[in-house]
């Protein structure tokens, strides 16, 4: 899945001057990683005058670390691993110099988190960093300012398991930002709303009304053939409370023109597989035959190879037997994805204990994929690995 930071970069490249003007509303504050690459001279000059020796050392350490990061970021050949290391060093030295609750520290934290892969972001430590960034931005900026988007979505992306209070707070804050979004940015806003909805889905938050609204908006704004319309339509069918409505939506998706878009065709294929299962259970043989004919046609059209893609991820529940521990746990699993996109042959490679292992296995068993394809036919993806992390988020 495309990370939020990357979505913003595409926007920034097209709207660089306008966005940069917004980022400079507060003189002396650092700008985010992918928007600019210099510390305000006013910030440094004001901060280095008449400071105690230890603070001068912190200032010099930060200036050095951030300078190295800027140089590396400007070099297109810098390995991602090196960028992450330098971003972390800049964040840590900035925190020592500016303090935990400073806007610049929060911005440096966002820069670092944006460089992590989606899997690396999920966990209690990255989440704590993102939560602090949200708090600082909310204290420093208007609630409707577009800059609030990065830390808010990162707070959702890093959340290792559902926290109802936090989720409600972030949803409300995001809605306030989106409500101030200009009409001409509607397609970008829609794509970001879908990213939020996908994170909520990962956290096992049922939002049937939200998915239906996103589908209707995408259909109206982008058309029935747009991949985002296929995606929102598919997930709205999965979350529909009415089996009849779910089948109707799936049928609608299978009949839409995918216009030779592989992503849309793969979603059509997933919709047909789901319909075949439903019609099979209802003993509607003619419908099953019709659906499987569409499956065969789509398999032919999807020539070449494509890897399996995760559609529905269920987060594991924290074992009750481990609620009195504070360390949390980790489970590394191996599994196959069958030709229908279901996980099978799940095995535990390593686990903190058997309770975490069982919770992880139970969650993984519910994941659904778009299967991998070779020469237009679905194939089994063998020996996939994933690590599921467990942590408790205690209040107070």
Check residue 219 and give its pLDDT.
92
Check residue 375 and give its pLDDT.
64
16 — pLDDT class (breaks 50, 70, 90): very low
Q: What's the CATH class of domain 309-390? A: alpha beta
Higher pLDDT, 211 or 204: 211
Residue 159 has pLDDT above 70, yes or no: yes
Beta bridge partners of 370: 309
Residue 27 has pLDDT above 70, yes or no: no
Average pLDDT over residues 277-300: 80
Lowest-confidence pick of 52-56, 225-229, 275-279, 361-365 = 52-56
Check residue 376 and give its pLDDT.
59
Average pLDDT over residues 296-312: 70
User: Percent of the chain having pLDDT more than 70?
Assistant: 82
Two structure tokens written together for 338: 């069958």
Average pLDDT over residues 151-166: 92
212 — pLDDT class (breaks 50, 70, 90): very high
Lowest-confidence pick of 24-38, 260-274, 334-348 = 24-38
Asked whether the beta carbons of 305 and 373 are under 8 A apart, the reply is yes
**Among 375, 370, 225, which residue's Cα sits nearest to residue 299?**
375
Beta-carbon contacts of residue 351 (< 8 Å; ≥ 6 apart): 329, 330, 331, 332, 357, 360
215 — pLDDT class (breaks 50, 70, 90): very high
Average pLDDT over residues 46-56: 48
134-145 pLDDT tens trace? 999 999 999 999
Two structure tokens written together for 383: 């020996």
Beta-carbon contacts of residue 282 (< 8 Å; ≥ 6 apart): none
Residue 228 has pLDDT above 80, yes or no: yes
Check residue 40 and give its pLDDT.
32
21 — pLDDT class (breaks 50, 70, 90): very low
Two structure tokens written together for 341: 């996109």
337-359 pLDDT tens trace? 988 778 999 999 998 888 999 99
68-86 pLDDT tens trace? 998 998 898 999 999 999 9
Check residue 393 and give its pLDDT.
60
CA distance 96 to 58: 6
Sign, CA torsion 30/31/32/35: negative
Radius of gyration of the CA atoms of the chain, in A:
23
360-383 pLDDT tens trace? 999 898 887 877 777 656 788 888
Check residue 51 and give its pLDDT.
43
């Amino acid at each position: 899945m495309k990370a939020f930071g990357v979505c913003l970069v595409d926007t920034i490249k097209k709207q660089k001057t306008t966005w940069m003007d917004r980022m400079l509303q507060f003189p002396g504050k650092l700008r985010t990683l992918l928007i600019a690459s210099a510390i305000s001279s006013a910030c440094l000059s004001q901060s280095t005058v008449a400071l105690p020796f230890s603070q001068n050392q912190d200032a010099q350490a930060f200036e050095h670390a951030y300078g190295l990061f800027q140089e590396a970021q400007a070099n297109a050949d810098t390995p991602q691993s090196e960028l992450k290391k330098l971003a972390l060093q800049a964040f840590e030295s900035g925190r020592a110099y500016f303090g935990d609750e400073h806007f610049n520290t929060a911005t440096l934290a966002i820069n670092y988190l944006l460089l992590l892969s989606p899997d690396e972001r999920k966990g209690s430590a990255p989440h704590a960093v993102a939560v602090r960034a949200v708090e600082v931005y909310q204290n420093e900026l208007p609630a409707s300012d577009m800059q609030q988007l990065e830390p808010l979505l990162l707070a959702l992306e890093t959340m290792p398991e559902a926290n109802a209070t936090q989720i409600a707070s972030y949803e409300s804050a995001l809605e306030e930002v989106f409500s101030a979004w200009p009409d001409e940015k509607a397609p970008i806003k829609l794509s970001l709303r879908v990213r939020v909805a996908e994170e909520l889905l990962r956290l096992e938050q049922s939002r049937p009304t939200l998915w239906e609204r996103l589908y209707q908006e995408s259909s109206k704004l982008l058309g029935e053939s747009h991949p985002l319309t296929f995606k929102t339509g598919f997930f709205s069918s999965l979350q529909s409370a009415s089996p009849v409505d779910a089948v109707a939506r799936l049928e609608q998706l299978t009949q839409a023109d995918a216009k030779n878009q592989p992503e849309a065709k793969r979603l059509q294929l997933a919709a047909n597989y789901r319909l075949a299962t439903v019609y099979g259970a209802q003993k509607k043989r003619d419908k099953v035959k019709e659906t499987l004919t569409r499956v065969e046609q789509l398999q032919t059209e999807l020539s070449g190879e494509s890897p399996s893609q995760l559609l529905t991820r269920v987060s594991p529940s924290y074992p009750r037997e481990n609620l009195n521990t504070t360390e949390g746990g980790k489970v590394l699993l191996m599994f196959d994805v069958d030709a229908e996109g279901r996980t099978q042959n799940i095995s535990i490679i390593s686990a903190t204990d058997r309770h975490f292992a069982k919770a992880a296995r139970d969650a993984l068993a519910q994941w659904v994929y778009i299967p991998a394809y070779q020469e237009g036919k679905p194939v089994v993806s063998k020996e996939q690995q994933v690590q599921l992390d467990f942590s408790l988020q205690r209040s107070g």
